[in-house]
Amino acid sequence: MFCVKCGKEEETFRGLCIDCFLDGKQLITLPVHIDLERCANCEEFRINGRWVKETAAAAAEDAAISQMSAIDGMRIITVGAEAEELDERNFHVMADVSGELSDRAVTAAAETIVRIKNNVCRKCSRQLGNYYEATLQIRSGSKELSAELRDETVRYVRERIENISSINRQIFLTKVEEVQGGVDMLLSSISLARSLAKELSDTYGAETKESSKLVGKTAGGSDMYRMTYLVRMPEYHLNDVVIFEDKVHKLSGITKGGGKLTRLGDFNASTVRRSRMTEMKVHTSYDSLMEATVVSRSAGEIQILHPLNYTTVDVRIPDGAEIGDTVNVADIDGTLFFVP
């Protein structure tokens, strides 16, 4: 075939030889301006319909690449972009590609101005509007929920949500409200609230109860419910010293099925079924154990200073226990016990 322009005889591309075809041709194009949405609240950028967390320069580069088009027949192999900040809201972006056109290796470049426009993403607009689907109510089985346990639970929920929200943007904690008897946490998702209630139940041996309330209709016309998950914290807590069947134990583990006990004195391990855990009475809570200074160590025994009267006391320890400079002890009817 002949090139209609220069007459060269070779394979033609739309009537032209490849040189004539490429001559002065813009292989890739970019719009003159590209508007890039940024959430004014969380500062994430919307690229290809998805909100992503990245620097403004990287977002400008991604926005330019997402708007780039190449001529038909070009096979793109690599794509690059380089953003240069003009001011806070405007970036000049140079995009370049390499590829193949009619078996010829080609490169091309194009430029654009990316303009950042503030907006509010759906997640933030929901969060700012106090949107919630479920309430996690943390209460105590007996008296008031202690401030320590309340803070510990709120911290647990916050950390879990932080982890999950990094992969699921629809997940957030709307509000934490201290209420009479405990704390309420308002959550953006029913399934999140359900799984957190279950996790708290498994971690703390808490009882849970769920209830629902019809709050209206969805945009699609179906019933919309809000769920409430009541999590009733037991009196005991992991690492408490408890009395069970008239013996003193450390509650050394809590599982779905029940508790693991380590008896003080002989350190024998046993288990207690979930249904019987309410029979355990807390003798000394984990956060009020006494700390004693270790004076000397020998096999099966250590000498410590009594934390209250500073006399030297011998206490038994489990075989092979690693003993530091201080140990936790509990005073059971005037006798000190090592708490592993």
Q: Are 251 and 239 in contact (CB under 8 A)?
A: yes
State in Å, rounded, how far the first CA of the chain is from the last one. 90
Which residue in this structure is represented by tokens 């037991």?
234
Q: Does 134 bind Zn ion (CB under 5 A)?
A: no
Picking from 295, 246, 292, 249, the residue whose alpha carbon sits closest to that of residue 269 is 249
Strands 104-119 and 33-39: parallel
User: What is the closest distance, in whole angstroms, from the C-beta atom of residue 128 to Zn ion in the complex?
Assistant: 9
**Segment interacting with Zn ion, rule: CB under 5 A, options 12-20, 72-80, 278-286, 331-339:** 12-20
Q: Does 20 bind Zn ion (CB under 5 A)?
A: yes
Residue ranges of alpha helices (H) inside the chain are 18-22, 56-66, 122-128, 147-165, 190-204
* 118/312 with CB nearer Zn ion: 118
Q: Are 293 and 326 in contact (CB under 8 A)?
A: yes
Measured distance CA(326)–CA(331) in Å, rounded: 16
Q: Give the angle 66-69-71 at the CA atoms, nearest 5°.
A: 160
Torsion sign across C-alpha atoms 325, 326, 332, 334:
positive
**Segment interacting with Zn ion, rule: CB under 5 A, options 118-126, 152-160, 196-204, 264-272:** 118-126
Among 29, 41, 168, 208, binds Zn ion (CB under 5 A): 41
Q: Does 39 bind Zn ion (CB under 5 A)?
A: yes
**Segment interacting with Zn ion, rule: CB under 5 A, options 37-45, 52-60, 104-112, 190-198:** 37-45
Q: Are 304 and 336 in contact (CB under 8 A)?
A: yes
Among 97, 121, 161, 339, binds Zn ion (CB under 5 A): 121
Q: Does 332 bind Zn ion (CB under 5 A)?
A: no
Q: What does DSSP assign to residue 121?
A: -
**Using only C-alpha atoms, what is the Rg of the chain?**
33
* 140/189 with CB nearer Zn ion: 189
Q: Does 242 bind Zn ion (CB under 5 A)?
A: no
**Segment interacting with Zn ion, rule: CB under 5 A, options 90-98, 123-131, 132-140, 171-179:** 123-131
Q: Does 52 bind Zn ion (CB under 5 A)?
A: no
Q: Does 30 bind Zn ion (CB under 5 A)?
A: no
**Segment interacting with Zn ion, rule: CB under 5 A, options 87-95, 117-125, 139-147, 274-282:** 117-125
Q: Does 17 bind Zn ion (CB under 5 A)?
A: yes
Q: Does 59 bind Zn ion (CB under 5 A)?
A: no
Residues that bind Zn ion (CB under 5 A): 3, 5-6, 8, 17, 20, 39, 41-42, 121, 124
